[in-house]
Amino acid sequence: MPFDYLPPIFRPSDSKIVLLVMDGLGGLPIEEGGPTELEAARTPNMDRLAKEGMLGQTIPIRPGITPGSGPAHLALFGYDPIRYEIGRGVLESVGVGLKVNPGDVAVRGNFCTLDEEGNISDRRAGRIPSDESAPLVERLQGIQLPGVETEVRQVKEYRFAMVMRGEGLDPDIEDTDPQRTGVPPLPIEANSPAAEKTAQLFGQWYAKARELLTDQPKANGMTLRGFATDPNLPNYQDSYGVRAACVSVYPMYKGVASLVGMDVIAFEGESPHDEFAALSRVWPDYDFFFVHIKKTDSKGEDGDFEGKAKIIEGVDQALPQLLGLKPDVLIVTGDHSTPARLRTHSWHPVPYLFWAPATVRPDDQPKFGERACARGGLGTFPALDTMPLALAHAGRLEKFGA
């Protein structure tokens, strides 16, 4: 359980909590003294919420640590990524929408180039473009093995993910990537007797895959890494006493949400409006709503400062639709920073807006932005604190001790 001391003090309530995550929200100025992306964006609705609520900034995982998307979301959900590890094979698989259930074995695959002696000459198959690797993944999807089911899906370029499903599988298998060229891929070997059978099955699969790729000039081999199974994370409802729903366009975030036991809501479209509409439809059925906006991060990774600010403005414009539902607690934040200036995820603290009209202590910050958040009443705190704070303000926790 992420917080052992919470379940004994759960209090029943029909309050509603919304966690609105703009991926990679945190930014940096692109000119001296200038605004960040969030500060540059026109966000009258968020500014009103900032004024009525409290600001702060979060440390996503640990100070100085730049989070990947999986760990960053785990942290927001209250599962310390240093303690709760999701195997890389699982993260890659759920990231492309593959289901990983307990007992399944998931793995990441890299196409590589093998020379005539079977030694690796290019560990990334010449960074084969996605449209060339897609039909190869199709071929691999056709492989049949006795007694187990396999599912293969493209990630991008030379990368794919794979899940094996069946009885008695065990992921305790060594990576086959030798991490250098001039040598063959390592054999698929079990680290423990329980995984022998699984290693053999992957070996059979690999042999068939090699045959299917013999005609390929670049992607004629592959390495497999990060064998892992469902991380068996404590269930969200057990951990926090809420029925939780995930509204997200991208598979990765749906995947992480489903690993903690949230229900993933299906819907059409991909605008903030579409996401909020989906949320409205299931509003009566859940207590906690995780809503994920992807494009802030994508624009940040593109180095598109203006574009990122525009995405934030789009979310702000759609916000009244969400506020119309009258949530008791609304948190607007990011999972990490992706400053357009750096074109990548970063370790910087993440701006955090906490709004709960009945119980917040106002901190006189009139605008949502990094500088205001650094001065906000919530201070600088771990993203991990999100759920206990949300539950408290939602009236869902009793007093601790007499």
Q: Which residues bind its own copies (CB under 8 A)?
A: 3, 5, 9, 28-29, 32-33, 36, 52, 57, 61-71, 81-82, 86, 88, 91-92, 95, 342, 344-349, 359, 361-364, 370-371, 374-381, 385, 387-393, 397-402
Nearer to its own copies, 218 or 348 (CB): 348
Q: Which is nearer to its own copies, 113 or 248 (CB)?
A: 248
Please say which residue, 272 or 376, places its beta carbon nearer to its own copies: 376
Phi, psi of 377, rounded to the nearest 5 degrees:
-70, -20
DSSP character at residue 308:
H
- Residue 37 CB, shortest distance to its own copies, in Å, is 12
Please say which residue, 105 or 256, places its beta carbon nearer to its own copies: 256
- Read off φ and ψ for residue 18, nearest 5 degrees: -120, 125
Q: How many CA atoms lie within 13 A of 54 on its CB side?
A: 19
Minimum distance between the CB of residue 302 and its own copies, rounded to whole angstroms?
17
For residue 190, give the amino acid letter.
A
Rounded to a whole number of angstroms, the minimum distance from the CB of residue 162 to its own copies is: 16
The whole-angstrom separation of Cα 87 and Cα 83 is 12
In angstroms, the CA 140 to CA 149 distance is 12
The pairing of strands 329-333 and 350-355 is antiparallel
CB of 112 to its own copies, least distance (A): 19
DSSP-assigned beta bridge partners for residue 152: 162
d(C-alpha 92, C-alpha 97), whole Å:
9
CA atoms within 13 A on the CB side of 25: 30
Shortest spacing between CB 284 and its own copies, in angstroms: 25
- CB of residue 341 to its own copies, shortest distance in Å: 9
Q: Which is nearer to its own copies, 47 or 385 (CB)?
A: 385
From the CB of 225, what's the least distance to its own copies, in Å?
11
Is the C-alpha dihedral spanning 211, 213, 216, 218 positive or negative?
negative
Q: How far is the CB of 389 from its own copies (least distance, A)?
A: 5
d(CA 176, CA 173): 9
User: Phi/psi at 108 (nearest 5 deg)?
Assistant: -95, 140
Nearer of residues 33 and 217 to its own copies, judged by Cβ = 33
Least Å from the CB of residue 351 to its own copies: 10
The residue (of 68 and 109) whose beta carbon lies closer to its own copies is 68
Provide the 8-state DSSP code for 100: -
Phi and psi at residue 192, in whole multiples of 5°? -150, 155
C-alpha span between 98 and 91 (Å, rounded): 10
CA distance 192 to 172: 7
Considering the complex, what minimum distance in angstroms separates the CB of residue 283 from its own copies?
24
Q: Of 283 and 347, which CB lies nearer to its own copies in the complex structure? A: 347
Torsion over CA: 386, 82, 180, 213 (sign): negative
Asked if residue 218 lies in contact with residue 129, where contact means CB atoms within 8 angstroms, the answer is: no
Say how far apart CA 244 and CA 263 lie, in whole Å: 6
The string of DSSP codes covering 338-379 is --TTTTS-B-S-EEEEEE-TTT-------S-SHHHHHTSTT-
